[in-house]
Chains A and B, each alone.
Chain A
Amino acid sequence: MLGLEKSDFRLLLLVIVLTLFAPFLLNPFPVDSTMAQFNAGYPDLMQRFVIFGIFAIGFNILFGLTGYLSFGHAAFLGAGSYAAIWMMKLLTMNVIPAIVLSIVVAGLFSLAVGFVSLRRSGIYFSILTLAFAQMSYSLAYSVLTPITGGETGLQPKIDDPRILDSVLAVGQQARANLFGLDMSTSHDLIVGGWAFTFNAGYYVAALLMVISFYISIRIFRSPFGLMLRAIKSNQNRLGYTGVSARPYTLAAFVISGMYAGLAGGLMVAMDTQAGAERMFWTASGEVVLMTILGGAGTLIGPVLGAGMIKYMENIVSKINSTVLEGWFAWMPEIIQDVVVAVVYPFVGKGWHLTLGLVFMLVVIFLPGGLMEGFRRISDRFFGGSRKTDNSTGGTTAPTAAE
């Protein structure tokens, strides 16, 4: 269906169902319970899940399929953000032109960067993309201040032209909308002790993520995707057969750049501001972490990785020593103190430490990421020969053997 094989279609359906019911699934604890702080079903975080999911899906098309490790993808996300915010300042607060332009601008930008960077491969490619991204970041902070707003970034102002919008009433703020539907509109549904929030912005972003996911499945299963995988497994041999790898890698680079631009545009659509810090190389590193954690080269892995990192960033970072003491209150005092002291460095402000450790463990023991972990577990329980729906295999293959 939809041009997909049965198993891929099931996966797509699963993703649709999960994103549709995310407000329920992410809020499993009643509001008043002590576990309520683990609820991730508030609009801001749900939006981040899907936006970074899109970013990671796009990055995976480049890294997962071709093996080219870009350390500069945040530049495209930043460029998309700036394009979107300018659209909102000049044209209309409707998110559609903003998102469309952010994809186009990021695509063109990645075409230019990719054209140059892809002349080299391996570590040189990583350094080149890193250099371009850092250059964009520095320029956005300094010389390009008239376009980027420098350190303060950009926000829609009252006196922006916005030629398509009607003049704002006095005291009214410019809000991102979709044909009048405010992106921040939320509907709260209260069932017993549970509260579920349905947010317009989230569903717009989720729809785009489902579409992005569908496109990425099609790319994975297409002859083009096969070509990209051939590049990953042995570029030399591909050259001997008379195929030039450059147009394929460039296409993959631009596609992933456009995904990043879409993510950047959506960020602006959800929260109307843009700043240069989105282009900093740590942001590029973050999407690498997401993709590897989830499983590079698998369809659903990067989305899981993005969700996991954003969950840690927003939920684990909130655990402080009082919360820990609450959890371990049933223990004898001395043991409780020891346990709290041991656990404390890994949560709260130290969540990066947990992230770093988990990431290292994944790279060392599970090169295929969480998806490989799931597959190993399911192999153990459901017999060895069962093939998972979404593993493409070859995720652990060396990038380029002589």
Chain B
Amino acid sequence: MEAIVLQVLNGLDKGSAYALIALGLTLIFGTLGVVNFAHGALFMIGAFCAVTLSRLLTLSHIVIDETQKDFLGNARKVEVPYIYDIFGEAAGNVIIDWAVPISIIVAIPVMMAIGVAIERGLIKHFYKRPHADQILVTFGLAIVLQEIIKYFYGANPIPTPAPDAFRGSFDFGAALGFDPNVIIYPYWRLVYFGFAAIIISAVFAFLQFTTFGMVVRAGMADRETVGLLGINIDRRFTIMFGLAAAVAGLAGVMYTPINSPNYHMGMDFLVLSFVVVVVGGMGSLVGAVLAGFLLGILESIASMGAVLAVLPGINQIILYLVAIIILLTRPRGLMGRAGVMED
């Protein structure tokens, strides 16, 4: 029982990442009808926003500190981050410590801008082209983005820690009435799950309760009619692309403490996110989120020792297996709408 609870919890954070990326993919697909293979790259760029910010914050200049002497009696040279000069040492340290959460504020406009630029500069020209062309051009874009990041940041993973306050683990078992020290869960993963829940709710609320969201939903249902009503639906869809990019970027920002970002992390997630989208049902936002969490949890339950003893290697293939079974038995996925991507 404890083991299952632990695995469900472990599945939540990966599931959150899947759900966020799949949500963005589905937003783009539902609005613009484009299959975006570069979405994983956007996730990766988000993660590197956090890396960049934490590097910028620790940018230092060398100061001669008269209070510290080396063994020859000369004043020691100390590196002082510029941030100390602005906010003082104590506040500066807090800001550096909280670099990852602060990156959220930076990442939103950056990712929006990148998303809008991609849509206006590239994808706009591909609406009339076959889906295969869209897949191919975004695949090429993903390679390019990935290589640009590799050029500037190198090929090695860059550790980006969470704030000190979240560094420990939370004894979940004790809280739920199990024996202590059985179900231990890092705080940051809890934060990640909460963050994902907030973002997902925010996106749904935005679509459901704002006029803008209503127009977008109408456009998803029937783009032509909305256009005939004199609404500039293209511009709104462009903004939705930016929003989807921001969602993927934020998922990446917050994921950095869980997995040190490297340039190909996006591709690793992309393949699985497509599986998630297809399982959830192409074009269904709720389906994408549900399938994300479902598959995340399934994956970690499959990697339990007891399960592996019966079905060795199942943890490696469970997602693909589920995808194959779902696609063959429920061709539209769990919650897919009729007539979406059915050639």
Taking Cβ atoms with an 8 Å cutoff, the residues of A that contact B are 67, 69, 116, 119-124, 126-128, 130-132, 134-135, 138-139, 141-144, 235, 281-282, 285, 288, 292, 345, 350, 352-353, 355-357, 359-360, 363-364, 367, 398-400
Alpha-carbon gap, A264 to B325, bound state (A): 29
B132 interface neighbour in A67, A142, A282, Cβ under 8 Å: A67
Whether A360 pairs with B140 at a CB distance below 8 angstroms is yes
Which chain B residue shows the least CB distance to A124? B327
Q: Taking the nearest CB of chain A, how far is it from the CB of B113, in angstroms?
A: 20
- CB-based contact A398/B130 at 8 Å: yes
Interface size on B, as a range, is 35 or more
> Given the interface contacts A142-B313, A353-B151, A356-B143, does A135 sit within 8 Å of B133 by beta carbon?
no
Q: From residue 299 to 343 of chain B, which have CB atoms closer than 8 A to chain A?
A: 312-313, 316-317, 319-321, 323-324, 327-328, 331, 341-343
Is B223 in contact with chain A by the CB < 8 A criterion? no
Given A131-B323, A350-B151, are A123 and B312 also a contact pair (CB < 8 Å)? no
A-chain residues with CB within 8 Å of residue B342 when the two chains form the complex: 122
Subset of 25 A-B contacts with CB under 8 Å: A67-B132, A122-B341, A123-B135, A123-B282, A124-B341, A131-B319, A134-B271, A134-B320, A135-B321, A143-B316, A288-B139, A292-B136, A352-B143, A352-B146, A356-B144, A356-B146, A360-B137, A360-B140, A360-B141, A363-B140, A364-B125, A398-B129, A399-B130, A399-B132, A400-B130
| B131 close to chain A: CB less than 8 A | yes
Interchain CB contact (< 8 A) of A120 among B35, B131, B331: B331
Within 8 A of A (CB), among B250-274: 267, 271, 274
B148 at the A interface (CB under 8 A): yes
Cα separation A119 to B328 with both chains bound (whole Å): 8
Residues of A within 8 A of B12 (CB): none
Q: Do A131 and B275 form a contact, CB below 8 Å, given A69-B135, A360-B140, A399-B132?
A: yes
CA distance A400 to B130 in the complex (A): 8
CA A43 to CA B74, docked complex, whole Å: 63
Distance in angstroms between the alpha carbons of A281 and B146 in the assembled complex: 16
Which A residues touch B144, using CB under 8 A?
353, 356-357, 360
CA distance A139 to B320 in the complex (A): 12
> What is the 8 Å Cβ interface bit string for chain B, positions 123-161, against chain A (1 contact, 0 not)?
001000111110111011111101110110000000000
Q: Which residues of B contact A143 (CB under 8 A)?
A: 312-313, 316
Contact A116 B328 (CB under 8 A): yes
Q: Is B313 a contact partner of A127 (Cβ separation < 8 A)?
A: no
Spell out B's residues near A (CB within 8 Å).
35, 122, 125, 129-133, 135-137, 139-144, 146-148, 150-151, 267, 271, 274-275, 278, 282, 312-313, 316-317, 319-321, 323-324, 327-328, 331, 341-343
How far is the CB of A68 from the nearest CB of chain B, in Å?
9
Q: In the complex, which residue of chain B has the Cβ closest to the Cβ of A145? A: B313
CA of A14 to CA of B132 in the docked complex: distance in angstroms?
A: 31
CB distance from A302 to the nearest CB of B (A): 14
- Which of B133, B271, B274, B323 contacts A367, CB < 8 Å? B133
Please, which residue of chain A has its CB at the minimum distance from the CB of B314?
Answer: A143
Do A127 and B130 have beta carbons less than 8 Å apart? no
**Are A124 and B331 neighbours in the complex by a CB distance under 8 Å?**
yes
Excluding A141-B316, A359-B140, A363-B137, 20 further A-B contacts by CB distance (< 8 Å) are: A67-B132, A121-B343, A122-B131, A123-B135, A124-B278, A131-B319, A131-B324, A134-B317, A135-B317, A282-B267, A285-B139, A288-B136, A353-B151, A355-B143, A356-B141, A357-B144, A360-B141, A363-B136, A367-B129, A400-B130
In the complex, A69→B320 CA distance in Å? 18
User: 7 tightest A-B contacts by CB?
Assistant: A143-B313, A356-B143, A138-B316, A353-B147, A360-B140, A131-B320, A356-B144
Closest to A68 in B: B132
Contacts of B136 in A (CB 8 A): 288, 292, 359, 363
A128 CA to B331 CA, complexed, in Å? 11
Pick from B133, B271, B282: contact of A363, CB under 8 Å: B133
Query: Which listed residue (A121, A139, A355, A359) contacts B313, Cβ 8 A?
Result: A139
Q: How far is the CA of A359 from the CA of B147 in the complex (A)?
A: 14
User: How far does the Cβ of B88 sit from chain A's closest Cβ, in whole Å?
Assistant: 39
**B135 near A126 (CB under 8 angstroms)?**
yes
Distance of A131 Cα from B141 Cα, bound (Å):
22
